[in-house]
Amino acid sequence: MAERPVGVTDQASGAGIAQVRTRERTVAAEVVSEQYVIPITEYLDGFMLSYRGMVATFRTPGLASGNHNLFTIFNKTGSTKIVAVRRLVLQVEDTGVLLTVAPIVQTSRITTLPTSGTVLTPVTCDTALTHDTNVECMGAASADGTASGPIVSTAGTRAWAGFKMRMATQVGQVLFPDETLIPELCGDTPILLRALEGLQVQMVQASVTTAHYVICCLFDELAAV
């Protein structure tokens, strides 16, 4: 590859003339103009942002039953939007002791609409944007510390997983970074949920009931241009 200056006629400023902003410098003995541009983030060709929201569960108590669901986000059938999940994190607080191996918390893809949990209301990142009600988030608590009816949803193949925090004798909270439930690179390379697709967060094994969880999710809704 070689430098290849492209010459264009430079019109004098005045009526009917637009001036493209550039900076001028010499590269490979040629005086060239490098254009200033405004990059637009596009996660998906042909779609643009229609909504950006964040949603948090209530403080959700652990359950002694295995495979209990903590959170879902689902793009319902008929939706014209594509949901881009950019951040999905878990925080844990535990007031009890657990000496055995920690439960796994995992994220998987689902294709059936979850039921019976508590529908959560997203908070917009910009009030000029409009949330599509076809995009539904659910938690397993109806208020802080109050478990609701469990989210009825069957997990798919494990996509990303981590261990829940546990402590052997020093009960209490240890301050720690968020547990990321999807790859961190999803911040700029999100997971896309088309109509009739969702993500589910599940505690795979039984958990101590002294544990409490909060799941937070940042997502975009993308509309076809």
Partner 1 sequence: MAERPVGVTDVASGAGVAQFRTRERTVAAEVVSEQYLIGLRDRVPSYRGMVSTFRTPGSAAVNTALMSLFNLSGSGVLVAVRASRMQADRTVNSSTARWSGTSLITTAPTDGTVLTPVGFDSAGSHSASVVARGLASADGTNGTFTPTATVTGWRGAGLRIPDATTMGHYQYPDILMLPRTARDDPVVLREGEGLLLSFIDSWPTSSHFLAALAFEEYLP
Residues of the shown chain interacting with partner 1 in the complex, contacts defined by CB under 8 A: 8, 10-13, 16-25, 33, 35-42, 45, 92, 98-102, 104, 106, 108-109, 156-170, 174, 176-177, 179-180, 182-186, 189-192, 194, 197, 204
- Which of 10/144 has CB closer to partner 1? 10
CB of 219 to partner 1, least distance (A): 13
CB of 198 to partner 1, least distance (A): 11
Q: 113-116: which pairs have CB atoms within 8 A and are 24 or more residues apart?
A: 113/74, 113/76, 113/77, 113/196, 113/198, 114/69, 114/72, 114/74, 114/138, 114/151, 114/152, 114/153, 114/198, 114/200, 115/151, 115/152, 115/153, 116/149, 116/150, 116/151, 116/152
CB of 63 to partner 1, least distance (A): 18
Tokens of 132: 């599509």
Instruction: State the distance between the two ends of the chain, measured CA to CA, in whole angstroms.
Output: 35
- Which of 118/220 has CB closer to partner 1? 220
CB of 148 to partner 1, least distance (A): 25
- Which of 1/38 has CB closer to partner 1? 38
